[in-house]
Structure 1
Amino acid sequence: MMIYIGMDDTDNLESRGTGTLSRTIATELSKKYPVSAVTRHQLLKHTDIPFTTHNSCSVLHVDLGPEHVEELYESVKKEMMDDFIEGSDPGIFAAHHTQLTPALVAFGQDAKAIILTQGRARALARNHNLPLEGLGGTEDGVIGAVAGVGLAGAGDDGRFLRLGAKDLRGTYSVEELLNHGVDAIYTVEGIPITEGTIYNKEDKLVRLCPLNGHVVLFVEERDGKFWNVSRG
């Protein structure tokens, strides 16, 4: 089963983004731990919510049991503090899949639709006896950190920034993608794609999606070729 470590608000307008930091941390963690994925989750964009560019959070997925939650939390926290950006408001939260409750999942879903508070995020962590901290600034990142874990644990939101040990960028054959852990490839009209090539700009990440607990890639046909569709 999986441990999820949520991160949010780690950047400012001039710095690298939270997604980049989460992939960097995943690379470091992979030297010691079985990191299986990094996901991005889009939260509500609203004029009353301070955010840097997109109001998205990142979640690390590590395939370990609940006894490793605190250890992983401290490892990720150290990496975040070592790369702290002035003007950022970072937060970190961690939970094992078996510790996720409907209340945590609902918090994640609510964060996509309504304005939430640090108070509710901190109360959830406290009531579940799970580690949550703000690491600087206003500490508003605790909201996205908790929301991300709830959404990632539900397995039906966002997109993968990384699947496995490396970033997937550019064009791949269907066989390569399936061998890398993609469960299915569909056109946006629902036709399964089982062979051929999936095209993508060379510098762009392949936009894999967690859907119903599976890794899915959606494509569209343009000029006789199947192109990766951007979702999430």
Structure 2
Amino acid sequence: MKIFVAMDDTDNLNSRGTGKLARDTAAAIMKEFHVDGITRHQLFVHEDIPFTSHNSCAVIHVEARETDDKEWLFETAKECMLNDFVEGSDPGLAVACADEVIPPLIAFGRDAQRVVLNQEKARGIAKNLGIRLEGLGGTEDGVIGTMAGLGLAKGGNDGRYLLCGGVRDMTGPADVDSLIEAGIDAVFNIHGGEVKEGRIIIEEGKSAKPCPVDGRKILFVEDIDGKYHAVKRG
């Protein structure tokens, strides 16, 4: 059973980002459950929306045993977030089983990428769908991006992975076989062809950034002068 743990607006300009907090939270969750990955989702950038740098949210994908595991996951994530609360942030947290994220919430996620939304709508959807949602400080505006994250994660074709198997531990150029072994499902060039072998150029000190595509973890590459270069998308 897949359960999504979504968080948003957890940082300020001088603190670690939401991605770092999501990875730390995932580490705590991994003591009890398998974490399939963490995805980052880009939200609408607009002058009426307060954000730190890029206005993105993060979603931890957990393989749980039963529906009741949601409460443990929520309390564990909440403790991690409150222990690392940063003044000036407006964090939100939500946890939902994949089958609870139905079309209206997926549509809300898409809307959050193109229009300005409000807490009332986010909280209304959470209440109607029986999804536990909480603001954990500040204005609590993070509840908007948090609910959007659930919808975007369930959609399965948005954003990129912040954590995916052992891929983050591999930095710099890597062979396709090594990337597959580390947790990527496939490598495709931007024109649609699958790359099954060879060396992928990845910036030194950086790791590959695969994207979720129809339930698979896909790394996109671009052919530049006969060499495949990893592409950052989402």
Look up the match of 2:87: 86
Look up the match of 1:48: 48
Question: Relative to structure 2, which stretch is displaced further, 200-209 or 101-110?
Answer: 200-209
Distance of 1:149 and 1:77 partners within structure 2: 16
TM score, norm. by length of structure 2: 0.95
Cα displacement string for residues 141-167 of structure 1 (whole angstroms, at most 9, x for unaligned residues): 000011001100111100000012662
Look up the match of 2:20: 20
Look up the match of 1:185: 187
Counterpart of 2:2 in structure 1: which amino acid?
M
Distance of 1:42 and 1:23 partners within structure 2: 17
CA shift at 1:100, angstroms?
Answer: 1.2
Contact 2:105 2:125 in 1 (8 A): yes
Distance of 1:165 and 1:177 partners within structure 2: 9
Look up the match of 1:66: 67
Pairing 1:172–2:174 present? yes
CA shift at 1:67, angstroms?
Answer: 2.1
Counterpart of 2:51 in structure 1: which amino acid?
F
Q: Are the structure 2 counterparts of residues 214 and 179 from structure 1 closer, same or farther at C-alpha, using a change threshold of 3 Å?
A: same
Which consecutive unaligned segments of at least 5 residues does structure 2 have? none
Number of residue-to-residue matches in the alignment: 232
Aligned pairs (5 A) from 1:8-157: 8-64=8-64, 65-157=66-158
Distance of 1:134 and 1:205 partners within structure 2: 32
Distance of 2:186 and 2:34 partners within structure 1: 23
**Partner SS, residue 32 of structure 1:** coil
Distance of 1:182 and 1:6 partners within structure 2: 22
Distance of 1:171 and 1:161 partners within structure 2: 18
**Partner SS, residue 138 of structure 2:** coil
Distance of 2:70 and 2:165 partners within structure 1: 20
Aligned pairs (5 A) from 1:200-211: 200-211=202-213
Q: Are the structure 2 counterparts of residues 166 and 86 from structure 1 closer, same or farther at C-alpha, using a change threshold of 3 Å?
A: farther
Distance of 2:70 and 2:216 partners within structure 1: 23
Distance of 2:96 and 2:207 partners within structure 1: 27
Counterpart of 1:27 in structure 2: which amino acid?
A
Distance of 1:205 and 1:175 partners within structure 2: 15
Distance of 1:130 and 1:226 partners within structure 2: 43
Question: Relative to structure 2, which stretch is displaced further, 178-187 or 130-139?
Answer: 178-187
Look up the match of 1:215: 217
Distance of 1:205 and 1:152 partners within structure 2: 21
Which consecutive unaligned segments of at least 5 residues does structure 1 have? none
**Partner SS, residue 168 of structure 2:** coil
Counterpart of 2:75 in structure 1: which amino acid?
E
Distance of 2:83 and 2:166 partners within structure 1: 22
Distance of 2:203 and 2:86 partners within structure 1: 30
Identity %: 49
CA shift at 1:171, angstroms?
Answer: 2.4
RMSD of aligned Cα (Å): 1.3
Cα displacement string for residues 76-115 of structure 1 (whole angstroms, at most 9, x for unaligned residues): 0100000000110000011011111101101101100111
Distance of 1:193 and 1:176 partners within structure 2: 13
**Partner SS, residue 66 of structure 1:** coil
Look up the match of 2:229: 227
Contact 1:172 1:198 in 2 (8 A): yes
Contact 1:209 1:217 in 2 (8 A): yes
CA shift at 1:55, angstroms?
Answer: 0.3
Question: Relative to structure 2, which stretch is displaced further, 132-141 or 218-227?
Answer: 218-227
